[in-house]
Amino acid sequence: METDILKEIGLTPNEIKVYMALLKARSALASKLSQETKLQRTNVYLLLNSLIEKGVVSYVIKNGRKYFTAIEPEKLIKFIETEKLKVEEKEKRLREFIESLKKQKIEPEKKVIVEVYEGIEGLKTIMEDILKTIEKEKEYFSFGWSGVTQKVLKFYAITLHKKRIKLGIKRKIIVSESLKGCKELKQPLTELKFLPEKVLLPVSIIIYDNKIVQVIALESKITSILIENKELAERYKEYFDILWRQAK
């Protein structure tokens, strides 16, 4: 329909009926428009007030009666321009609102993921994850190393470190002074420092990416606990740095 364009610029179907009737009559009372459009007079008054607010209808009072007039069709362009300015103003206010939300620093919930691995196979899974997660030529950090991993993994540990060296992954390790002569620690891309045994934790801890691993060895049972949380990993790394500065 020819009047569909009026719907597209923001007029309702009944507003279009009233506007088109006014264009035809040039000037009319609400009662006359009610007859022409077959709409109730109270509804016509509401529609006329809406059209006046939109700037497409005006009125004059003659002998105490209100006569309504539609703007010329050519002036509908002005109506579109006004609506465009309103949209631009809404967009501006929305952008300001979004910026205010950003300043509030709304952060997503910080999740802590904890996984427990039992036995040698569980420990192997974690060691593989270290090599898979760390980028080439980066490093991981460890303290409390007791040599248990090396003993239980045996030949697998040799293969693991060959992969690490091939990838160029470095490691910094803080160990007890009592392990200064340990051959397993004397490998490429390894930086060592030593602390008195009483200063170190009774578990082995590895820090890499956003993860912390605790390896607990009790008699013949090994339990590895993997914790994934960026903030927690950063705090562990800060603790490692303090020990590293104190170590020799």
**For 138-151, what is each residue's pLDDT tens digit?**
899 998 876 666 67
Residues 54 and 167 in one domain: no
Last-in-domain residue among 51, 71, 101: 101
The total of structural domains in the chain comes to: 2
Q: CA-CA distances (angstroms) from residue 239 to 73, 174, 193, 246, 248? A: 76, 12, 15, 11, 16
d(CA 203, CA 180): 18
Last-in-domain residue among 70, 101, 132: 101
pLDDT surpassing 90 at residue 206: yes
Range of the domain at 61: 4-101
Q: Residue 219 maps to which CATH number?
A: 3.30.870.10
pLDDT surpassing 80 at residue 82: no
Q: pLDDT tens across 153-184, in order? A: 777 888 888 888 888 999 999 888 877 777 77
Burial 109-133 (b: 16+ CB within 10 A, else e): eeeeeeeebeeeebbbebbebbbee
Residues 117 and 233 in one domain: yes
Residues 75 and 147 in one domain: no
Closest to 169 (Cα-Cα) out of 200, 205, 129: 129
Q: What is the pTM of this model?
A: 0.55
Last-in-domain residue among 41, 71, 101: 101
> How far, rounded to the nearest angstrom, does the alpha carbon of residue 171 sit from its chain's CA centroid?
32
Instruction: Show Cβ contacts of residue 212 under 8 Å, excluding neighbours closer than 6 positions.
Output: 205, 206, 226, 227, 232, 233, 236
CA-based end-to-end distance of the chain: 88
Phi, psi of 230 (to 5 degrees): -60, -50
- 31 HSE (CA, 13 A, CB side): 2
Residues 140 and 167 in one domain: yes
